[in-house]
Structure 1
């Protein structure tokens, strides 16, 4: 299941969030169409701005568009001319008061869509696909990713027969729901035809303690045990010292134990030993 379904779709509401945040009972199809037009308008307007995704939020008659890009200066333009132009176009399209925010992507090497577009650009320049994939994967791993998988399909290197090839480095656990896996798709338009590029990037794993966090938890547990040990030993020390009140009677001494039985006790052992002792005394006198 994890190999076929979209990695973000299967994790929505768990560790992934929706790109469109609004709700409507009656106008759902129309608003979905508006979202598609807004995203197409933004990406066509800023083809060289390295835009990863566009978030859309609606509240009443207000609309907010969040543009996530690795080149915010290209989107904003000189003195904000370009962003004001796209804002006016969106308002004319939707008839809503629109606010446009530009969010910078600080690590584009960890964004699957930007990585896929970078590979597609290199393939359009007739670069060898194996070398391109290896270099891209090395940069992504060096940026801090735990794993990356890249798949290209089409007439690779201009071959007559189309084929599909993929490369992977590190771990990409598609079946693990708590694994933060980013997915991106791009197309390279070459002289031989269309080449599709798919990228999966395993960033981190949620709800799992790191090695540093585990060491910190163990240290705190040891400190708690060390603090609780003196408090537990205090009552035992007081009982051992026998702190009693003055004038209190101590324990009675045990009576001395006899080494052997006496004839006066009337026990069978004493009766058997009594005549034997008298006979020994008489024999001593005769001698």
Structure 2
């Protein structure tokens, strides 16, 4: 099961919940998925460098609530101050007319798998990657997390054949459904093709 099953999907209603909460008729669902993907991609591309981690969509009674999960809400609001009205108007024009934007700071941002993936995203050397993974793991394991696992796949350093690198620090029990596992996957374009970084984080029991 472990690596071949989504660490998020298999734990729905156990330790994880749905990221989006939207209701559509079957004939309109494909249109929603297309618009949702474009909306999330647009926001991530615009504000990722300012600490935007994830975008969730929740359907309320009379509007769609777009939740922007960020590393530091105070910094993010300072960056987009003065542009929030224009951003809101643009989203209403491009996507849905009844949108409300909410900014939410995530808990323990340094432990979020996407934050860790972005820290490793520029590494193309297996030695440098393993060193950085070990440094991150040593600073977090025992304090906020139990274990960290990273999988890097692609033509590392422009090698002729794609290779896969695994690095595990601590304990990541993927087959234990009650374990709080956070997962993220990020694809990047390099001169030698598309590479992928996958990160599994096992959170410490509260």
- In the superposition, the TM-score normalised over structure 2's length comes to 0.87
- 2:30 aligns to what? 29
Structure with the largest fraction of helix: 1
Q: Give 3-state SS (helix, strand or coil) of 1:10's partner.
A: helix
Cα RMSD (Å) of the superposition?
2.5
- 2:58 aligns to what? 57
TM-superposed CA distance for 1:36, in Å, is 1.1
Q: Give 3-state SS (helix, strand or coil) of 1:31's partner.
A: helix
Q: Are the structure 2 counterparts of residues 157 and 58 from structure 1 closer, same or farther at C-alpha, using a change threshold of 3 Å?
A: same
TM-superposed CA distance for 1:115, in Å, is 0.7
- 2:18 aligns to what? 18
Find the aligned partners of 1:34 and 1:143 in 2 and give their Cα distance.
40
- 1:226 aligns to what? none
Find the aligned partners of 1:37 and 1:128 in 2 and give their Cα distance.
34
Residue pair 1:65, 1:101 contacting (<8 A) in 2 also: yes
Q: Within 5 Å, give how 1:1-287 maps onto structure 2.
A: 1-26=1-26, 27-73=28-74, 75-78=76-79, 80-121=81-122, 123=123, 128-141=128-141, 143-204=143-204
Q: Are the structure 2 counterparts of residues 168 and 84 from structure 1 closer, same or farther at C-alpha, using a change threshold of 3 Å?
A: same
Residue pair 2:50, 2:79 contacting (<8 A) in 1 also: no
TM-superposed CA distance for 1:143, in Å, is 4.2
Unpaired runs of 5+ in structure 2?
none
The number of aligned residues is 205
Residue pair 2:126, 2:165 contacting (<8 A) in 1 also: no
Residue pair 1:154, 1:164 contacting (<8 A) in 2 also: yes
TM-superposed CA distance for 1:162, in Å, is 2.2
Q: Are the structure 2 counterparts of residues 202 and 78 from structure 1 closer, same or farther at C-alpha, using a change threshold of 3 Å?
A: closer
